[in-house]
């Protein structure tokens, strides 16, 4: 099974060819990702209209390049998969319509993929992990803890009640005058800083609920920075170090409670696993802390390669291949993009859960 994947949900344009054999082994034949960082940097964040226009300009070329690098033709592709949500609607329309057009012209089945499901299933491509497992999804738009019980079977244990973690990193960077994208810049500054100089809050730490909150931490950073103005380079580094330490301790507290919940829900799983995915999973301090926590609690720690943690089309192609393997029906070409599309449709809607309201 060879699947062409297309990803255009935000500010990366991506195309990939992924192969899945009858034993469930996956192989990435090609994966092309074109970043738009330079286009959005002057604005300090992603501009939806610019993102959509950039997707239109390069997507055809990227698909052709993905086929060329995989050494196959479109006729040798068995299915087409494209991200249908959640994300920026303008970008989603570009990838979804392109995928539909290719599938119709080439007479291939088409799979409209949930971007979050792409992240959730990536460890089955990279590590051959079996269901069930625990997923921590941390990105610019999402911070969620999810039980991955099976293909299409997800239970949200916790989500952010305000800001996503990646958003908190980016807004902290912008507040401190660091370049876009902010997450890597905060991490670099934190390496130079003294995390003990300032004390910042650890939101929801110690609470039984499994949700996350980062708005108060972001506000505390703003108040601290204002009180120190004008900021020196040392001030910026120390604030970043304090912020990153607060985030790490908060995550470890929240995740530790979710590991316990997983043990209670699946007591017979001999080698439970925590999967960390999303752009924030690239932060080495956060990864190291979570890896240590998993080791102490008897969990496997799985973080896909960094190129597969951020937005990419290989995970979209793999999600399509997984569905095809389960003989799931292909999607209608009438399917529409969705700016909000939660993995768990049963949980009550909350900000950060990928769902606008009860009817979304």
In this structure, are 174 and 38 located in the same domain?
no
Q: Is the pLDDT of residue 355 over 50?
A: no
Residue 240's Cβ-side half-sphere holds a number of Cα atoms within 13 Å equal to 29
Give the domain CATH number at 87.
3.30.420.40
Q: Would 339 be classed as within a structural domain?
A: no
Average pLDDT, the chain: 93
Q: Would 350 be classed as within a structural domain?
A: no
- Residue found under tokens 């990928």: 354
pLDDT for residue 348: 66
Q: Would 276 be classed as within a structural domain?
A: yes
CA distance 302 to 136: 10
- pLDDT level of residue 264 (50, 70, 90 thresholds): very high
In this structure, are 246 and 312 located in the same domain?
no
* Domain range enclosing 62: 2-124+307-325
Structural domain tally of the chain?
A: 2
Is the overall model pTM greater than 0.85, yes or no? Answer: yes
Domain stops at, among 303, 336, 351: 303
Q: Would 41 be classed as within a structural domain?
A: yes
- pLDDT level of residue 299 (50, 70, 90 thresholds): very high
Q: Is the pLDDT of residue 268 over 60?
A: yes
- pLDDT tens digits for range 155-179: 999 999 999 999 999 999 999 999 9
- pLDDT tens digits for range 113-172: 999 999 999 999 999 999 999 999 998 788 999 999 999 999 999 999 999 999 999 999
In this structure, are 311 and 296 located in the same domain?
no
In this structure, are 13 and 120 located in the same domain?
yes
pLDDT for residue 357: 34
In this structure, are 169 and 72 located in the same domain?
no
Q: Is the pLDDT of residue 353 over 80?
A: no
pLDDT for residue 282: 86
Residue 296 makes CB contacts below 8 A (sequence gap 6+) with none
- pLDDT tens digits for range 69-81: 999 999 999 999 9
Q: Would 336 be classed as within a structural domain?
A: no
Higher pLDDT, 232 or 351: 232
Residue 302 makes CB contacts below 8 A (sequence gap 6+) with 123, 126, 127, 129, 133, 273, 274, 275, 276
pLDDT for residue 278: 86
In this structure, are 110 and 172 located in the same domain?
no
Q: Would 344 be classed as within a structural domain?
A: no
CA distances from 230 to 41, 125, 212, 236, 302 (A): 24, 49, 31, 10, 42
CA distance 290 to 285: 9
């Amino acid at each position: 099974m060879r699947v062409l994947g297309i990803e255009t949900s935000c500010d990366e344009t991506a195309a990939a060819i992924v192969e899945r054999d009858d034993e469930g082994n996956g192989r990435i034949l090609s994966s092309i990702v074109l970043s738009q960082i330079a286009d959005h940097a002057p604005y300090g964040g992603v501009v939806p209209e610019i993102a959509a226009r950039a997707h239109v300009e390069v997507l055809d070329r990227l698909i052709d390049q993905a086929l060329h690098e995989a050494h196959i033709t479109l006729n040798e592709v068995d299915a087409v998969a494209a991200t249908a949500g959640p994300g920026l609607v303008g970008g989603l329309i570009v990838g979804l319509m392109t995928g539909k057009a290719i599938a119709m012209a080439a007479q291939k089945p088409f799979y409209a993929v949930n971007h979050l499901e792409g992240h959730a299933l990536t460890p089955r491509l990279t590590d051959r992990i079996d269901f069930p497992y625990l997923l921590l999804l941390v990105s610019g738009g999402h911070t969620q803890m999810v039980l991955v019980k099976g293909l299409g079977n997800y239970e949200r244990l916790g989500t952010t009640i305000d800001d996503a973690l990646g958003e908190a990193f980016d807004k902290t960077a912008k507040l401190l005058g660091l370049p876009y994208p902010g997450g890597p810049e905060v991490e670099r500054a934190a390496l130079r800083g003294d995390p003990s100089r300032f004390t910042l809050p650890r939101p929801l730490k110690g609470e039984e609920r499994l949700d996350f909150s980062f708005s108060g931490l972001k506000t505390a950073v703003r108040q601290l920075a204002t009180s120190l103005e004008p900021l020196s380079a040392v001030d910026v580094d120390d604030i970043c170090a304090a912020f990153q330490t607060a985030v790490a301790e908060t995550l470890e507290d929240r995740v530790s409670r979710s590991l316990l919940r997983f043990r209670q829900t699946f007591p017979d799983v001999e080698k439970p696993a925590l999967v960390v995915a999303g752009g924030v999973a690239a932060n080495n301090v956060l990864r190291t802390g979570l890896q240590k926590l998993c080791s102490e609690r008897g969990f496997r720690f799985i973080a896909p390669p960094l190129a597969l943690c951020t937005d990419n089309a290989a995970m979209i192609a793999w999600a399509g291949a997984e569905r095809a393997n389960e003989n799931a029906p292909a999607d209608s070409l009438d399917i529409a993009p969705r700016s909000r599309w939660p993995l768990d449709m049963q949980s009550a809607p909350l900000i950060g859960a990928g769902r606008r309201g009860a009817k979304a």
